Amino acid sequence: MELSRYHPNNLKRISEGMINIHPIQRGGILTEEAKKILLSWSDGYSVCDVCLEGRVDLIKNPPINQLKQDVAEFLGMDTARFTAGARHAKFVIMSAFKGGTLVLDSLAHYTSYIAAELNDMKIYEVPNSGYPDFKINPEGYAQTFERVKEETGSYPDIALLTHVDYRYGNLVDAEKVGKICEEYEIPLVLNTAYTSGLMEINGKKLKASFIVGSGHKSWAATAPIGILATNYELADRAFQTSKVRGEWSGRAFTKKELSMFGCSPVYGLPVITLMASFPKVVERVKRWDEEVEKARWFVKEMEKIEGLQLIGERPKNHTLMHFESPAFHSIAKSHKKKGYFLYHELKKRGVFGVQAGMTKNFKVNTYGLSWEELERVANAFKDIAEKYGVEVED
Amino acid sequence: MNFRDYFEIPLNPVAVIFKKEEMDAEGEYRFCEAVRIVAERGERIVINEFNLMCAGALVSLGFVTELAEEGETRSIVLEPYRGQECDVVLVVATPDRIMRISSYYKNLFDEELRAQFAGETAVCGEATARVRDTGEPNISFLCPGAREIGNYRREEVVLGFPKDVFVRIETAIRKQEVRALCGCLMDDLPKDLIERFEQMGFDKSTDHFFGFVNGKSVKLYIFKGEKNTLGIYTSVKFKSEEEAERVAESYTGEYVLMPRENWIEIMKVSDIDVFQEYRKPDFEKRLNSEIEKIVEEARRIKGLKARA
């Protein structure tokens, strides 16, 4: 073993000092408040110093129990838990519907499928519209519910909507889907991994039974932390407590929630950073319109590069965007660095986050960039295009 | 990362070193049995003509000839492979691991891993002697001796590598030359269909294909359903959203025009049922004809802006 590789001098982050436009990073950038408390809460189970209740979400000092309720209120729900990520939150929900049928959008994150698979669920997909918008039509939920009824004899047990998908950054009309689900009396899981914490979400208004969020993607928290909010009607089902008893010792753990493995696995920094950032998060969602405005401006600037085109819905309603770039791809074919040229050229210009090797199409996220940073990023792309003889509009 | 860790193989790869001098040897072994012991326990075992208890192995490994005359080999050293000089490296693994190794091998050498086996003199002959003689790796499914006496598990097989090939693979692993392909499939399009489009100059994107035709970017998207029709798309950029909308409204041609802000996406659903027809010889010709027409129409639509 070469242990020197783990020396702090060798652990410099590759993106340090650069503008990081990686699609999964922008919403997880820590607030100054969160950065301030990093060291004091960095030891393993740091929040468990004064755990009297036996469950992390019930701890009063630091005020995790209160945070749980505040987060629920912020999302327009009744109660919440912190999980090991949005994927774990989905697993928790699916485990309450084990063996049932799930309808989900065809742009859902892979962890939605896997959470269902782990719980022996049968899945049906709501199709998307295909090229170039790849949109999910809310009506597709009703059609798919009927298809499930036709094929299985009963309506599905639960539906899942990815509020904004990770592939095209399309924002689906969750309220319409929620209304359809309400009419069919099918609980709706709204996966807000790219929305809650960035834009205002009100579960009651959207008629969601469960809201899943990602602290590290969208709530300015360190990974791993997810959020699972629900209403009291379904809380008992999702957060069942343990009933097991040791046959010899008689031991039992009646306060421990089964699908949280007893105690939500956020015993330190993740939950503390989420807490420290929370006031800023509550504030920042009100400025979402400006983020969308910046994203749309960025699209216009990027499309000044010949052949470069946004795919997914237009106009953009989210900061996660997917560009198709046949001109960069043509350059890659004859460049000695092949598809990696774009990544390297961007790095030279202080921009990080376009996946190395990707030139055909790539995703970026502009959330939280200042106008100046945004301009620097757009100029970096334009500069690279011009360097290789690709036309750029004035 | 080494070979064993990379492919997550429980047993050590075994280095086989042929010697022309006789070495002291202890115990009594079948060759296959000794290989299994070294692989499992990490011990070093020396074999010579006198402690090798299998006549088939004596012949196949060259200790004696088929006429019972003295052969070239006087001893064989078996050790866990740690990068030392050796002739052959043997890997005892289950078929799922062999599958991963063969996929890696194909990516690295652009050739298939072969299995030539008869179920006789397997570990000694098929996986060791043959590999040493031919310089090619080989998979053996073992023989009754190995299965019944050698303590191999029911699901185990043995893969023999020439040392230089094994070293090349370990180097590639260390340098991460062969990247694991993403395990997420974004569609269920047949591989040869994708290749067909690629031959025609279209690259696969996440959900569709795209390429340049007469300087225009053209996209192809398969609408899955009872008939797997093909959507052909190209786009024209205008100065403003209003201009794009005016052009789309005034258009009376055969294509579908979708204004998307300051762009118009021009689209046609072709009659071609892709899954039925992509293997037909005239597929490319028919498709190209459609594509050329849409590209031509795009240029005409671009010109409409003056009148709109």
The DSSP bridge pattern shows strands A19-20 and A351-352 to be: parallel
Q: Which of A176-180, B190-194, B243-247 has the lowest mean pLDDT?
A: B190-194
**Which structural domain range is residue A338 located in?**
286-388
Place of tokens 């129990």: A65
Number of domains in chain A: 2
Is this model's pTM higher than 0.95 or not? no
Q: Is B174 on the interface with A (CB under 8 A)?
A: no
- Residue B180 pLDDT greater than 70, yes or no: no
CATH number at residue A344: 3.90.1150.10
Q: How confident is the model at residue B184 (pLDDT cuts 50, 70, 90)?
A: confident
Domain stops at, among A260, A285, A310: A285
CA distance A315 to chain B (A): 7
Distance of CA A243 to the CA centre of its chain: 33
Cβ-defined contact of B231 to A131 (cutoff 8 Å): yes
Query: Would you state the CATH architecture of domain B191-303?
Result: 2-Layer Sandwich (3.30)
| Contact status, residue A107 vs residue A170, Cβ threshold 8 Å | yes
CA distance B222 to chain A (A): 8
Who contacts A305 (Cβ-Cβ below 8 Å, separation ≥6)?
A325, A327, A381, A382, A385, A390, A391, A392
Q: Is B213 on the interface with A (CB under 8 A)?
A: no
Cα–Cα distances in angstroms (integers) from residue A10 to residues A2, A7, A296, B2, B174, in the given order:
12, 5, 39, 22, 18
Kindly report the average pLDDT of chain B as a whole number.
93
- Residue B181 pLDDT greater than 70, yes or no: no
CA A171, A174, A176, A177 torsion: positive or negative?
positive
Cβ-defined contact of A131 to B260 (cutoff 8 Å): no
Is A1 a domain residue? no
Same domain for A310 and A268, yes or no, is no
pLDDT at residue number B27? 94
| Contact status, residue B47 vs residue B78, Cβ threshold 8 Å | yes
Cβ-defined contact of A303 to B231 (cutoff 8 Å): no
Cβ-defined contact of B184 to A361 (cutoff 8 Å): no
Please give the residue of chain A at the shortest CA–CA distance from B225.
Answer: A127
In chain A, which stretches have pLDDT less than 70? Answer: none
Same domain for A271 and A139, yes or no, is yes
Q: How confident is the model at residue B69 (pLDDT cuts 50, 70, 90)?
A: confident
pLDDT at residue number B306? 53
pLDDT at residue number B73? 95
Q: Is B295 on the interface with A (CB under 8 A)?
A: no
Domain ranges, ordered by start, for chain B: 3-175, 191-303
Domain stops at, among A285, A303, A335: A285
Is A21 a domain residue? no
Same domain for A319 and A260, yes or no, is no
- Residue B308 pLDDT greater than 70, yes or no: no
Q: How confident is the model at residue B307 (pLDDT cuts 50, 70, 90)?
A: low
Query: In what order do the strands lie in the sheet containing A158-162?
Result: A79-83, A226-230, A210-214, A188-191, A158-162, A101-105, A122-126
* A186 or B225, greater pLDDT: A186
Cβ-defined contact of A324 to B205 (cutoff 8 Å): yes
Query: In what order do the strands lie in the sheet containing A320-324?
Result: A309-311, A320-324, A361-365
Cβ-defined contact of A360 to B205 (cutoff 8 Å): yes
Q: How confident is the model at residue B66 (pLDDT cuts 50, 70, 90)?
A: confident
Same domain for A365 and A279, yes or no, is no
CA distance B36 to chain A (A): 27
Mean pLDDT of B277-294: 93
pLDDT at residue number A269? 97
Instruction: Report the candidate in A247, A192, A245, A163 with the shortest Cα–Cα distance to residue A80.
Output: A192
Please give the residue of chain B at the shortest CA–CA distance from A133.
Answer: B260
Write out chain B residues lying below 8 Å of A321, CB-based.
Answer: none
Q: Is A288 exposed, middle or buried (0-12, 13-18, 19+ CB in 10 A)?
A: middle
pLDDT at residue number A338? 87
Binding-site residues from annotation of A for pyridoxal 5'-phosphate:
86-87, 191, 214-216
